[in-house]
Amino acid sequence: MNSNLLQVFQKKIYSFFKLKKINHALISNSALDTLTILKKNNFHAFIVGGAVRDILMGYKPKDFDIATNATPEQVRSIFKRSRIIGRRFKLVHVIYGREIIEVSTFRAKPREKIKMSNGVLKDNEYGSIKEDAERRDFTINALYYDVEDKNIIDFYDGIRDIQDNQLRLIGKPKLRYKEDPIRILRAIRFAAKLKMEIHSESVSEIKNSINLLKSVPYSRLFDEIMKFFLTGHAQESMVLFKKHNLSNIYFPSLENNNKDFNNFLLQGLKNTDLRIKNHQSINPGFLLAVFLWKDVRELSKKYKKNFPHPSLALNKAIDDVLQKQARIFPVQKRFAITMSEIWRLQPRFNSTSSKKIYRLLSHPRFRASYDFLLLRCQSLEISKSEGLWWTQFIESNKENQDLLIITKKNLNNE
């Protein structure tokens, strides 16, 4: 055998066996405790899904899900600090301080379709571990780990798909997308998050099935779309979001070849990923303000000639942009309010009035608006000196702040 081919073969064999090992140091003590207690009460219990997948891929899981043959009511009776959640499918949250271990009962395909008031089908039919695996979306998420036996139960070659860097739906993609169209979004999002290729059959059916998303309740659809950009892989997600025509469907403002705006957008996505990495809070309204800022700016410039004051033109532009977006894919009201305030405060950063500057500093939305200003500076939409002045102002004491305001007035009068 050719030596190069032999090395490749040996590497694949090594990789395959290495993948089968689970590093117990990456499993939370709370998850281990939950498993132990369930087993002591004569129930089967396994770590399932994303946590197993992430450990096999060398990542530290953010949370742990456990699958068991115990019903939600039985789990609730065992754990004092727990609560049953969900209507469509009941789950139990077992609470360990700030950590929550999510415990689900093995589920089977419902024998009858029962719709709830919001139009979503109930999904509380319980079954075997094999039936549970069959209900899961991707092969890489249908992995069950038995901590005691140190054995991975893999019904659909999920380990091999991890090895091949492939995201593959369980079952026929056309049928699985029809069962739950959200799987279309999940496939694209997981591909971005895990840097995996979507299996050819799964990806080819996306285009044919994408109209099914119209039947998904708005609140669920909105939350799933925001996960693309608020879970630490916004940059990669935007590439696939555009590639699969989702931007054109939900946020047409993102579909343009304007270099300046694309730099602004990229910087916004980078900053969002960085904040998540640093465990800082994220407001979806901020990123949505980034998405639609180009439209607001352009309309505001257009309206200036029709209004006696620039702020009136800006207000008109904001109202029109939000109304236009509402006809396509509406932004939830609480986020729309955040966006409006961030946009409306931008011109106020130019003020040289001491009274107006201090009033801006005390505004509840000042910090988000200041971060938005810095983003505009980073992308060179406006001079970096604007952001530097405000950064220095924030970090100074009252005496130095007053001096900075005087300096700003003098520079403005030159």
Give the pLDDT score at 281.
87
**153, 196: one domain:** no
Q: Is residue 302 a part of any domain in this protein? A: yes
Q: What is the 3-state secondary structure (H, E, C) of the chain?
A: CCHHHHHHHHHHHHHHHHHCCCCHHHCCHHHHHHHHHHHHCCCCEEEECHHHHHHHCCCCCCCCEEEECCCHHHHHHHCCCEEEECCCCCEEEEEECCEEEEEEECECCCCCCCECCCCCECCCCECCHHHHHHHCCEHHHCEEEECCCCEEEECCCHHHHHHCCEECECCCHHHHHHHCCHHHHHHHHHHHHHCCEECHHHHHHHHHHHHHHHHCCHHHHHHHHHHCCCCCCHHHHHHHHHHCCHHHHHCHHHCCCCHHHHHHHHHHHHHHHHHHHCCCCCCHHHHHHHHHHHHHHHHHHHHHHHCCCHHHHHHHHHHHHHHHHHHHCCCCHHHHHHHHHHHHHHHHHHCCCHHHHHHHHCCCCHHHHHHHHHHHHHCCCCCHHHHHHHHHHHHCCHHHHHHHHHHHHHHHHC
pLDDT in tens, 309-324: 889 999 999 999 999 9
Model pTM score: 0.84
Give the pLDDT score at 9.
42
pLDDT band at 307 (very low <50, low <70, confident <90, very high): confident
Give the pLDDT score at 168.
95
Task: Verify whether residue 63 is a known catalytic residue.
Answer: yes
Query: Of 33, 63, 164, 402, which one is the catalytic site residue?
Result: 63
**Residue where a domain terminates, one of 139, 164, 189:** 164
**69, 203: one domain:** no
Task: Verify whether residue 180 is a known catalytic residue.
Answer: no
Task: Verify whether residue 146 is a known catalytic residue.
Answer: no
Number of domains in the chain: 3
More confident residue, 18 or 235: 235
**60, 133: one domain:** yes
Q: Is the pLDDT of residue 2 over 80?
A: no
**141, 224: one domain:** no
**Residue where a domain terminates, one of 225, 245, 265:** 245
Give the pLDDT score at 183.
96
**309, 225: one domain:** no
Give the pLDDT score at 124.
66
Stretch 342-359: mean pLDDT: 94
CATH code for position 207:
1.10.110
Q: Is residue 262 a part of any domain in this protein? A: no
**401, 306: one domain:** yes
**11, 114: one domain:** yes
Give the pLDDT score at 83.
95
pLDDT in tens, 58-114: 888 989 999 999 999 999 999 999 999 987 789 999 999 999 999 999 998 876 655
Q: Is residue 119 a part of any domain in this protein? A: yes
Q: Is residue 257 a part of any domain in this protein? A: no
Instruction: Provide, rounded to the nearest whole percent, the portion of the chain with pLDDT above 70.
Output: 91
Query: Of 54, 132, 137, 273, which one is the catalytic site residue?
Result: 137
**155, 280: one domain:** no
Q: Is residue 72 a part of any domain in this protein? A: yes
Q: Is residue 254 a part of any domain in this protein? A: no
Q: Is the pLDDT of residue 123 over 70?
A: no
CATH code for position 355:
1.10.3090.10
Q: Is the pLDDT of residue 24 over 50?
A: yes
pLDDT in tens, 214-251: 999 998 999 999 999 999 999 999 999 999 999 999 99
Q: Is the pLDDT of residue 16 over 50?
A: no
**30, 158: one domain:** yes
Q: What is the mean pLDDT of the chain?
A: 89
**122, 5: one domain:** yes
CATH code for position 137:
3.30.460.10
Among 13-22, 151-160, 221-230, the least confident range: 13-22
Q: Is residue 370 a part of any domain in this protein? A: yes
Give the pLDDT score at 412.
72
**283, 207: one domain:** no
Q: Is residue 256 a part of any domain in this protein? A: no
Give the pLDDT score at 17.
42
Identify the domain containing residue 90 by its residue range: 1-164
**132, 190: one domain:** no
